[in-house]
Structure 1
Amino acid sequence: MSTGKESLSNVHSSVQTANKTGWRKILAFIGPAYLVSVGYMDPGNWATDIAGGSAFGYSLIWVLLASNLIALLLQSLSARLGIVRGLDLAQASKNTYPRVVNFFLYLLAQLAIIACDLAEIIGMAIGLQLLFDLPLIWGVSLTITDTLLMLFLMNKGMRKLELFIVSMIFIVGLSFLVEMFIVQPDVIEVAKGFVPGNLSGNALYIAIGIIGATVMPHNLYLHSSLVQTRQIVRTHEGIKTAIKFNFFDTVIALNLAFLVNAAILILAASAFYKNGYFEIAEIQDAYKLLEHIFGRTAPVLFAVALIAAGQSSTITGTLAGQIIMEGHINLRVEPWLRRLLTRVLAIVPAVFTILYYGEDGLGKLIILSQVVLSLQLGFAVIPLIHFTSDKKKMGKFAIGKWAKLGAWASAVVIVGLNGKLVYEQIFSWISESSGGTLIWIYALVIPVVLGIVSLLLYVFLRPLLFKHKDNPIFIPHGIATVINNLDAIQYNHIGIAIDFSKNDSNTIRHGIMQGGDKALYTLIHVVETAGAQYNGVEVMDHETQSDVDNINQYVIAMQKMGYNANAKVGFGMAAKSISKIVIEEKIEFVVMGSHGHKALKDLIFGTTVNKVRHMIDVPVLVVKPLR
């Protein structure tokens, strides 16, 4: 049972895995890696793969393969951390690093999510334009509405969410399977692309973009949390089984993602590079050329897959945002609000680019977003390796020397390539700039880079220099105290909020259960008409008169049954009026009926119960409506 303190507490341990064997056991664990894998085939991957395939043919396939192998290793470490320690990567970081460091780690991780979301916004907007000829500025604006879809799916439970994601992956995979039959790539040339080659200049930039688009930092946070949605037996054998089945899940899901990415790069190489189109970095150009070369079917499949990839990625980005926010800085807000905030922060640069640089600048913006993702990778990868290598915390499940060697080699490659890119970029800026621009580079850019490098060194060195000095796990609501006795509490004045629905009798019954025949009961109703909101107690419209008569009938009925009851009518906003009456009447206990709204209705009508709970300092009993 979830206590609200775990990672993604609303779905923690919500999927049963016990008492299942064979295929049922495998199917019970399948899911988390598929949610993670959508980040490996989102519009950001499309942009980097298309740019790489059109500019360098099949020669960068080996970068894709290397990125996928690194991703397999790191995602399996992420899953291991979540299964063994029951912590996600952000929570483990909070227990290891000081608060100020966690704050900066949160900012960098949030920046990565915004960069990822930026690619999804642009990708979906481009997909809508390609299919329906919708202007990009409108498409970008429309993407804000997917917050409602995310809210709906999260209220349906983890399995329904996973089913939606898998269906989106199926659409993307099927689309590119058909595309491969249409373009008919050169198999021998494709095989040669798996041979590693030298990287420099634009090839290095695109290669780093591919790494950033493939090994996404927020996916490491996400996977370490999603594996905890499976309810496992916390024994050595139970944990070992969970690690094994989650590894199968990871291998299958990420290899499918690799095939999709390879298909995109091969498509670009076969359609554009071989036909002399060497600079097709724009998704729109790829769509038009596909139509020009292969007819209408190929580009339609391309656009449908693009929308499906963007829509599925935006869901997982929201979950990752929740994990890093709660884990690093212990800030909890409603998922729809966090989704809306992240989406708005991503929409702003997209709209700015369209307005000032035109639609042609969006392709470059997508690739830049993937490079930003790659630059943030070290801050997620290095702590992850430290945590899963710690034999004191991981016990027998700490990673072995070969896995550790591979993980650190991956980290060196990622950080080294990023360092090379940053050095080349700054050197290029200095050589091309003069006067005021050069001053800004020395005064702002270089200090920021040095600060980020210092933070990365600290993240690497602290677990080595201060081994096993972790802070205790932070529990948001405190630590349970010892219970000595539980004497009954007698409430002398109980408030009961009513709304003249079929649930009133049930709400009143629960109120009487708290105070018996000794308490005073104040029935509370709020008139919420427009007149009541503006005129308050001076309003006496038909609804107000009717409500006063009805509440008095409740009072008379209770008095006939031997209970001491009276009535109070409020005017205007329900939560504010109820809270005012509770305070003025010195009510000790409040009983309220839940309206039973879910998801969209809560967003539209609001949640009076939650607002009242935060406005008063007396206990509140919420009574669910009768079915």
Structure 2
Amino acid sequence: MGKERDKGWLTKTGDKSLEESNHSVAIPENGHFFKKLFAFMGPGVLVAVGFIDPGNWETSISAGSSFGYTLLAVVLLSNLIAMLMQGLAAKLGIATGRDLAQATRDAFRPKAVVVLWLLTELAIIATDLAEVLGSAIALNLLFHIPIMIGIIITALDVLLLLLLQKKGFRWMEAIITVLMVTIAGCFLFEMIFSHPALSEALKGYIPSTEIVTNPSLLFLALGILGATVMPHNLYLHSSIVQTRNYHDTDKGKKEAVRFAYIDSTFSLGVAFFVNSAILILGAAAFHTIGEHVGGIEEAYKLLTPVMGAGAASFLFGFALLLSGQSSTITGTLTGQIVMEGFIRFRIKPWVRRLFTRIIAIIPALIFVGIYGPSSTGDLLVWSQVILSLQLSFAVIPLVLFTSSKKKMGSFANKLHVKILAWTATGLIVCLNAFMLGYMIVTGHAL
């Protein structure tokens, strides 16, 4: 990644991350714990929606229908790693006043920065591709709109972004929170009516040696990890925690870090419930009757006949649509943060949104045009592969920066956090190396 410059950041001055929203949300001076917590809550939910985007659905449904509850242990591990990394990202932003993109620009030489920026942009496009396909599939399932037309319709979501930006950052957080709660509610309903074997589901959270000895299980485990721990969320979180108007003192920052950890852990806990519910639904509704479901569309069509609940398929499709749209909003913010942070290039967010969406739409239209609507599942998997391969380039700098006393001062990672962070990073790097090797040898994705 290039030679790192020896530079401290605690006294760093210059451009602010998301300058129009930076320190814009008031924090009560002498409020009680829960009043302050409410003021700090919000960034976590913007991050959490990225963990339940349509890319996760394809992998988890397939995992549940094929292997029952076995891979719930991987869902748990992936979410624990995500909680750790998102906590570090939040701490980086609060302690240094730099988001991860800015911190990378400050620390590495220009050529390395450009390479890392291009890789991050590729990850954002891959994320957007999953949102495009997820929304288009949902429109097709709910309203029978052809996939090709649905892909084009997704470009209109830029109007939603414009409306939210005029309302302010807290409005955006509120809308995303409503969408997140609705998605969780839909899956709670689905879980109740699928009648899962609770004892078997709980056993699924205990790691099994079969996961590493069975190639098919291992491949799906890699897909779940790649779809859960997402690189763009690290850039996003390190920026949006700075929207809170905390005091720029050690005491003020420590309080902000504490509340940011509570916020992100709670929100990612909700995301963990949704991801678990998707896999449990696949296991309870399909695996128990020996039905392997290869994708989202097939799951939608089979849910009502299998579960006997008329609303099951509709709620599944509705939650998918909400998932794609909520991820769209946070994806736009991330694009703005990354472009401004890495290369100091600033454009209007709606222009940025339209540009990214068009880039995502083109390959989607070409792929679906050539291989047909049934190819959307494969394209979703490929988008997750790209995200997974890019993850190391975000995680390694993050752990390096937050472990540096010179850069973080008293906020630097303690020894036990360093051990956990580097162990998780090593796991991510090894799994991605395995995935890349598999792709080179076999010529196709997991």
Aligned counterparts, 1:299-338, within 5 A: 299-338=313-352
CA–CA separation in structure 2 for the residues paired with 1:121 and 1:82: 30
Pairing partner for 1:413 from 423, 427, 431? 427
**Runs of 5+ consecutive residues of structure 2 not aligned to the other structure:** 1-12
How far does residue 55 in structure 1 lie from its aligned partner after superposition? 1.6
Q: Which residue of 2 aligns with 1:37?
A: 48
Q: Which residue of 2 aligns with 1:362?
A: 376
Q: Which residue of 2 aligns with 1:28?
A: 39
2:23 is the counterpart of 1:10: no
SS in 1 for 2:289: coil
Contact 1:282–1:360 (CA<8 Å) still a contact in 2? no
Q: Which residue of 2 aligns with 1:495?
A: none
2:354 is the counterpart of 1:343: no
2:65 is the counterpart of 1:54: yes
How far does residue 68 in structure 1 lie from its aligned partner after superposition? 0.4
Aligned counterparts, 1:408-447, within 5 A: 408-429=422-443
Contact 1:212–1:371 (CA<8 Å) still a contact in 2? yes
Q: Which residue of 1 aligns with 2:156?
A: 145
How far does residue 131 in structure 1 lie from its aligned partner after superposition? 1.2
Of 48-57 and 68-77, more deviation after overlay is shown by: 48-57
How far does residue 195 in structure 1 lie from its aligned partner after superposition? 2.0
How far does residue 42 in structure 1 lie from its aligned partner after superposition? 0.9
CA–CA separation in structure 2 for the residues paired with 1:379 and 1:86: 21
CA–CA separation in structure 1 for the residues paired with 2:137 and 2:288: 25
Amino acid at match of 2:232: H
Aligned counterparts, 1:202-241, within 5 A: 202-241=216-255
How far does residue 425 in structure 1 lie from its aligned partner after superposition? 2.2
SS in 2 for 1:10: coil
How far does residue 427 in structure 1 lie from its aligned partner after superposition? 2.0
CA–CA separation in structure 1 for the residues paired with 2:75 and 2:46: 20
Contact 1:81–1:388 (CA<8 Å) still a contact in 2? yes
Aligned counterparts, 1:428-507, within 5 A: 428-429=442-443
Q: Which residue of 2 aligns with 1:243?
A: 257
Aligned counterparts, 1:5-404, within 5 A: 5-19=15-29, 20-197=31-208, 198-199=211-212, 200-278=214-292, 280-294=293-307, 295-404=309-418
Contact 1:59–1:194 (CA<8 Å) still a contact in 2? yes
Q: Which runs of 4+ in 1 moved over 4 A?
A: none
CA–CA separation in structure 2 for the residues paired with 1:34 and 1:240: 21
How far does residue 212 in structure 1 lie from its aligned partner after superposition? 1.6
CA–CA separation in structure 2 for the residues paired with 1:157 and 1:202: 46
Amino acid at match of 1:49: S
Amino acid at match of 1:11: S
CA–CA separation in structure 1 for the residues paired with 2:217 and 2:355: 34
SS in 2 for 1:233: coil
CA–CA separation in structure 1 for the residues paired with 2:254 and 2:348: 35
Amino acid at match of 1:134: I
Q: C-alpha offsets along residues 427-455 of structure 1, whole Å, 9 cap, x if unaligned?
A: 224xx9xxxxxxxxxxxxxxxxxxxxxxx
Of 289-298 and 401-410, more deviation after overlay is shown by: 289-298
CA–CA separation in structure 1 for the residues paired with 2:345 and 2:390: 21
CA–CA separation in structure 1 for the residues paired with 2:277 and 2:69: 11
How far does residue 4 in structure 1 lie from its aligned partner after superposition? 9.2
Q: C-alpha offsets along residues 233-269 of structure 1, whole Å, 9 cap, x if unaligned?
A: 1122111111111111011000100000000000011
Contact 1:18–1:232 (CA<8 Å) still a contact in 2? no
Contact 2:131–2:328 (CA<8 Å) still a contact in 1? yes
SS in 2 for 1:9: coil
Amino acid at match of 1:12: N
Q: C-alpha offsets along residues 492-541 of structure 1, whole Å, 9 cap, x if unaligned?
A: xxxxxxxxxxxxxxxxxxxxxxxxxxxxxxxxxxxxxxxxxxxxxxxxxx
SS in 2 for 1:6: coil
For normalisation by structure 1, the TM-score amounts to 0.67
Q: C-alpha offsets along residues 535-592 of structure 1, whole Å, 9 cap, x if unaligned?
A: xxxxxxxxxxxxxxxxxxxxxxxxxxxxxxxxxxxxxxxxxxxxxxxxxxxxxxxxxx
CA–CA separation in structure 1 for the residues paired with 2:364 and 2:67: 27
How far does residue 349 in structure 1 lie from its aligned partner after superposition? 1.7
Amino acid at match of 1:287: Y
Amino acid at match of 2:25: V
CA–CA separation in structure 1 for the residues paired with 2:178 and 2:156: 20
CA–CA separation in structure 2 for the residues paired with 1:170 and 1:352: 35
How far does residue 5 in structure 1 lie from its aligned partner after superposition? 2.4
Contact 1:209–1:368 (CA<8 Å) still a contact in 2? no
CA–CA separation in structure 1 for the residues paired with 2:110 and 2:216: 39
Q: C-alpha offsets along residues 146-166 of structure 1, whole Å, 9 cap, x if unaligned?
A: 011112111211000000100
State the Cα RMSD in Å. Answer: 1.4
For normalisation by structure 2, the TM-score amounts to 0.94
SS in 1 for 2:20: helix
Q: Which residue of 2 aligns with 1:547?
A: none
Contact 1:79–1:243 (CA<8 Å) still a contact in 2? yes
Amino acid at match of 2:48: S
Contact 2:28–2:35 (CA<8 Å) still a contact in 1? no
**Runs of 5+ consecutive residues of structure 1 not aligned to the other structure:** 433-627
Q: C-alpha offsets along residues 145-191 of structure 1, whole Å, 9 cap, x if unaligned?
A: 00111121112110000001001001101101111111010112112
SS in 2 for 1:11: coil
Contact 1:204–1:421 (CA<8 Å) still a contact in 2? no
CA–CA separation in structure 2 for the residues paired with 1:143 and 1:162: 21
Amino acid at match of 1:307: L
Higher gyration radius (CA): 1
Contact 1:123–1:310 (CA<8 Å) still a contact in 2? yes
Amino acid at match of 1:126: I
Contact 1:18–1:231 (CA<8 Å) still a contact in 2? no
Q: Which residue of 2 aligns with 1:476?
A: none
CA–CA separation in structure 1 for the residues paired with 2:402 and 2:136: 39
- Number of corresponding residues: 427
Q: C-alpha offsets along residues 56-75 of structure 1, whole Å, 9 cap, x if unaligned?
A: 11111011000000000000
Q: Which residue of 2 aligns with 1:570?
A: none
Contact 1:18–1:233 (CA<8 Å) still a contact in 2? no
Q: C-alpha offsets along residues 13-34 of structure 1, whole Å, 9 cap, x if unaligned?
A: 0001141323210100000010
Contact 1:4–1:10 (CA<8 Å) still a contact in 2? no
Contact 1:121–1:310 (CA<8 Å) still a contact in 2? yes
Amino acid at match of 1:286: A
